[in-house]
Structure formats: C-alpha cells, structure tokens
Structure 1
Amino acid sequence: MTTRPQRRARSIAMTPAELDAFLTEQRTCRIGTVSPGGQPHVTPLWFAWDGTSVWLYSLVKSQRWADLMREPRVAVSVDAGETYGELRGVEILGSASIVGDVPRNGGYDESLAEPERLFAEKYFEAAQFVDDGRHGWLRIRSDKITSWDFRKR
C-alpha cells in the first residue's frame, strides 16, 4: 500500500527522519474508530512504531476492538507540545488488521517479534514481551500520513 503524500502545510511538515523519531519517542496515541450507528469512538492507547506501521496491543473485549472488527478504517493521532509554538503531531489514516492469535497467548510468532520487542523496550524497559492473554495485536497500515511541527514557523 502506498501512502499518499502530504499536500497541505508542507512548510511545517516533518521530514521522514523527524516523523520516524517522533513516533518512536512518543508514548500515547489516540485512536478513532466508528461505533455502531456511525458515532466516533476515540481512546488513548500505547503503541509501537516499526518505521512503517503503528502496532496496537488492544484489549480484545473492548469497544475499540469490536469497532475495528466491523469497520477496519481508523484514524490515529499522536501529538506533543504545551504552547502553540511547540505543537507538533502526526495523523495517520489507514486500516487495522489482526496479527497473531486472539487473544495473544504467548509463544514465538515471527510476525510479532519486532512489535513485541519495541513495545517491551519502550514501556517496560524489558528485553522480552510478556502477554496477558487478554490483548491482541493490531497493525495499522497507513493510507495517508499528515504531520506538523509548529516549531518550524
């Protein structure tokens, strides 16, 4: 899948290296799904970024999971900054797909080795990921990525 290039506000867009560093460093994203009846549902969640996709370790008995099983289109937002001149962020529009067993019940899975390593290091300062049997992995592949960094103004 090819990600569409950003067309608006290119002067404040992050470079590919800046975007990669930002998504690697930030700890919380907000994920928007569509609930039954068309209502938006937005929740904060920890995530891992592997340089091409956002990986979410989500409770399988959650509204977010139910929404994505019915409608895989998703919006993910990651932002930082306290004052207007410090604001920066990324919006990813794409689709979610399940990777691995649901719920995740341990054992080696080559397709999850990298996101589990990244997640364990980022949030638990651990070399190995330990699942809890209540979550599953979702991979968000982007159709469009928009970024902004007001510090460039």
Structure 2
Amino acid sequence: MGIRLTKDEAWKAVESAHTGILTTLRRDGMPIALPVWFVVDDHAIALMTPVGTKKIARVQHDPRASFLVESGERYVDLRGVHFTGRVAVVEDSDARGRIEAAVDAKYASFRPPAGALPAASQAYYAEHVFLRFLPDERILTWDNARLALRKS
C-alpha cells in the first residue's frame, strides 16, 4: 500500500481541514502563500476575502493558483492534499450567498464578536469578495500513517 489518498479520501481530508493555504502569483511571478478559511463547494474550494485584499488583484491578473491542506506533527502523522488550478471571482448572487452561509456556519465559533473589533477592522471586514478555486485533475496527496514503519 502506498501513501497516496484516493480522490474521495483527498476531498474528505480537505472538507475536514480547518485552514488552507492559498498560493497566488504577483505580477512579477513571485508566489504569495496565505492561510485562508474555506469551504468545499462541489469539488471546488470557496472562500470570502475582504474587498481590499491584494489577492483579488492577483487572481484577476493571473488566475493560476495552488491550494494546500495539511495535518500532523510526527512524521507518521503527516497528511496533506495539494491542488493546482485556477481562482475566479464568484459573480452569481446565489453562489455567493451559499458560500457565505457555509463559511459562517463552519467558522462562527472561531470569530471574535464583530463589536469587539476596532472600528477600522469592522469596516475592513464589512464587505467581501467571494472566490472559487477550481482544481485541475492533478492532486498530490500523502498520508504517512500508511507507511509500514519497522519497529527497532
């Protein structure tokens, strides 16, 4: 048995992950990797980001991106799923509403109360752009728990 996950196992691992790493490209080609809260939406990664973030300009200039979730601390516990693909701004209001509801449901208990944030932060997070990462067919996965480690 290898360490690779099946496609279904990979998506299950992504769905259960708390935080993902979205990597987009600056105009000069330099990759920028940032942690994001996300939800899985029909075998795509959906997320919200404040209107003023630079990642919006990056994906509008060059939609190529990658997305990674990983877990584990000990070598035998390391597990990850890495996708490459493209990011698009979600224009459809029904899709935006569905994404917002799903993100709110997943992360409600992790957010501070809106009133607890400084006024400038409240204003910054007031309006969102919705993004959808569409992975291509290549999925890189690993689950080191599947290794048959010898006991010495």
Normalising by the smaller structure, the TM-score range is 0.7 to 0.9
- The normalised TM-score by structure 1 is 0.77
Alpha-carbon deviations, 1:23-44, whole Å to 9, x = none?
1111111111111212111111
Give 3-state SS (helix, strand or coil) of 1:116's partner: helix
Retained in 2: the 8 A contact 1:20–1:51? no
Q: Which residue in the other structure is 2:127 paired with?
A: 134
Retained in 2: the 8 A contact 1:12–1:150? yes
Retained in 1: the 8 A contact 2:72–2:79? yes
Give 3-state SS (helix, strand or coil) of 2:141's partner: strand
Give the superposition deviation at 1:12. Answer: 1.2
Q: Which residue in the other structure is 2:63 paired with?
A: 72
Pair 1:124–1:24, CA change in 2 (3 A): same
Q: Which residue in the other structure is 1:149 paired with?
A: 143
Give 3-state SS (helix, strand or coil) of 2:103's partner: helix
Retained in 2: the 8 A contact 1:59–1:65? no
Percent identity over the alignment? 28
Q: Which residue in the other structure is 1:16 paired with?
A: 7
Alpha-carbon deviations, 1:105-139, whole Å to 9, x = none?
xxxx32234323321221116xxxxxx54221111
Q: Which residue in the other structure is 2:41 paired with?
A: 50
AA aligned to 2:142 is W
Distance, in Å, in 1 between the alignment partners of 2:127 and 2:96 is 16
Match of 2:94 among 110, 114, 118: 110
Give 3-state SS (helix, strand or coil) of 2:73's partner: coil
Q: Which residue in the other structure is 2:113 paired with?
A: none
Q: Which residue in the other structure is 1:106 paired with?
A: none
Does 2:112 match 1:119? no
Higher helix content, 1 or 2:
2
Q: Which runs of 5+ in 2 are unaligned?
A: 110-124, 148-152
Does 2:90 match 1:99? yes
- The normalised TM-score by structure 2 is 0.77
Q: CA RMSD in A?
A: 2.1
AA aligned to 1:148 is W
Distance, in Å, in 2 between the alignment partners of 1:111 and 1:118 is 11
